[in-house]
Amino acid sequence: MDITTIGGIIAALVLFAVGDILEGGNPAGLIHISSIIIVVPTTLT
């Protein structure tokens, strides 16, 4: 995986969290374990 791809993924996650904080939310609310269990293995196949 290219270093810019990893940087882009990290930047996207950070910016989602910052946007959520600026709107008064809790960034932990963006994490849904059941969604991760469905999406990640499907993406890797």
| Residue pLDDT, tens place only, 1-45 | 789 999 999 999 999 999 999 999 888 887 889 988 999 999 888
Hey, what are 31's tokens? 């994490």
Are the beta carbons of 32 and 26 closer than 8 angstroms?
no
CA gap 22, 16 in Å, rounded: 10
- Report the domain count for the chain: 1
For residue 33, the enclosing domain spans 3-44
Identify the pLDDT of residue 32.
87
